[in-house]
């Protein structure tokens, strides 16, 4: 049986941990060859050692680092069909306490980063047969929650970037995924509190906690030919917490 991403060559940022690492595993299982871009080079190498692929150090906040990493990735893969932007940072902090340095970090990693990666990848994606971009935004892009104003604003920006690029870059397909809270190292701090964990679980219609695989399987679909008529949209993966 052939995989859904057979012979496809993919860059995944944020590939060392959490959702990005699970996307690498699922892409590899579906036959893709993957370049794992992350600022955490040891973490990316560990994931690559476990499931194949090329680990490439990359700080998405740095234009020079992104240019070098995307060039190295496409050279190692022999071209590029898919880009997944999963690198990101979270700050759960009241708006009035966010200093300009943290504001800038959130902006540079969560919004400008994906934009730089897409720009660097474009010349290679334009040569591909069925190119696709998947941006990992957030439910925060659609719904406010306390202490996430700047994070949410970067994710809302990423969602609109997705929609604008779907129009401007067609036939390259550009889509986003908006996960609710998913258990990863990013959320481990507040999920360690049993009461918070229980509250999060009860806050969605299915009373489940999100897992990286829930997001990664949607990324496989959006990157694959099964989504050939899907662009400029988002898949919300939140157990129903946005209507519960
Ligand atoms: P994570 O912390 O487990 O992984 C994030 C990865 O991004 C790490 O490997 C980290 O090294 C990498 N990274 C951070 N800064 C970087 C930089 N400057 N350059 C390159 N890589 C960098 O987090 P996660 O939960 O897997 O999050 C993945 C994505 O999903 C993020 O964009 C996050 O905002 C989004 N998201 C997560 C959740 C959640 O509940 N976990 C919900 C909605 C959206």
How are beta strands 234-237 and 132-136 bridged, if at all?
unpaired
**Cα–Cα distance measured from residue 22 to residue 33, given in angstroms and rounded to the nearest whole number:** 14
Please answer whether residues 126 and 132 qualify as being in contact, where contact means their C-beta atoms are separated by less than 8 angstroms.
no
Question: Is there a catalytic annotation at residue 221?
Answer: no
Joined together, the tokens standing for residue 54 give 């090329």
- Residue 20 CB–ligand 1 contact under 6 Å: yes
Q: Which of 8, 27, 151, 182 is catalytic?
A: 151
Per-residue pLDDT tens digits for 22-68: 999 999 999 999 999 999 999 999 999 999 999 999 999 999 999 99
DSSP class per residue in 130-174: S-EEEEE--GGGTS--TT-HHHHHHHHHHHHHHHHHHHHSTTSEE
Model pTM score: 0.98
Confirm or reject: Cβ of 189 under 6 Å from ligand 1: no
Alpha-carbon distances, residue 131 vs 26, 86, 134 (angstroms): 18, 17, 10
CA distance 21 to 14: 7
Instruction: Identify whether 171 is preceded by a cis peptide bond (ω within 30 of 0).
Output: yes
User: In the prediction, which pLDDT does 13 show?
Assistant: 99
Write out pLDDT tens, residues 120-174. 999 999 999 999 999 999 999 999 988 999 999 999 999 999 999 999 999 999 9
The residues, any chain, with a CB within 8 Å of residue 115's CB and separated by 6 or more, are 161
Which of 117, 184, 197 should be mutated for ligand 1, with most atoms under 8 A from CB? Answer: 184
State which ligand 1 atom lies nearest to the alpha carbon of 215.
30
pLDDT band at 242 (very low <50, low <70, confident <90, very high): confident
Compute the Cα dihedral for 199, 202, 204, 209 and give only its sign. positive
- Average pLDDT of the chain is 97
Q: How far apart are CA 126 and CA 71, in angstroms?
A: 14
Nearest residue CA, atom 32 of ligand 1?
Answer: 88
- Kindly state which CATH superfamily the domain 9-237 is placed in: NAD(P)-binding Rossmann-like Domain (3.40.50.720)
Q: Does the beta carbon of 234 sit less than 6 angstroms from any atom of ligand 1?
A: no
Question: Taking 60 as the threshold, does the pLDDT of residue 244 lie above it?
Answer: no
59 lines ligand 1 (CB under 6 A): yes
Give the residue extent of every domain in the chain.
9-237
Q: What is the tens place of the pLDDT at every residue in 108-130? A: 999 999 999 999 999 999 999 99
């Amino acid at each position: 049986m052939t995989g859904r991403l057979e012979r496809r060559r993919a860059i995944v940022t944020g590939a060392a941990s959490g959702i990005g690492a699970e996307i690498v595993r699922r892409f590899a299982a579906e036959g893709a060859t993957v370049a794992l871009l992350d600022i955490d080079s040891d973490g990316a190498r560990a994931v690559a050692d476990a499931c194949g692929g090329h680990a490439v150090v990359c700080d998405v906040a740095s234009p020079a680092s992104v240019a070098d990493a995307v060039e190295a990735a496409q050279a190692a893969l022999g071209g590029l069909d898919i880009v997944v932007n999963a690198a990101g940072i979270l700050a759960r902090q009241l708006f009035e306490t966010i200093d300009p340095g943290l504001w800038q970090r959130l902006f540079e990693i969560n919004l400008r980063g994906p934009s730089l990666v897409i720009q660097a990848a474009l010349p290679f994606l334009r040569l591909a047969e069925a190119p696709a971009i998947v941006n990992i935004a957030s439910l925060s892009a659609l719904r406010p929650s306390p202490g996430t104003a700047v994070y949410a604003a970067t994710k809302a920006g990423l969602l609109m970037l997705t929609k604008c690029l779907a129009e401007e870059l067609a036939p390259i397909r550009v889509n986003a995924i908006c996960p609710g809270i998913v258990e990863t190292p990013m959320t481990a701090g507040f999920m360690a509190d049993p009461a918070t964990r229980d509250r999060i679980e009860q806050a969605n219609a299915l009373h489940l906690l999100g897992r990286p695989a829930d997001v990664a399987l949607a990324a496989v679909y959006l990157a694959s030919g099964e989504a050939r008529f899907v662009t400029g949209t988002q898949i919300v993966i939140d157990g129903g917490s946005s209507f519960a």
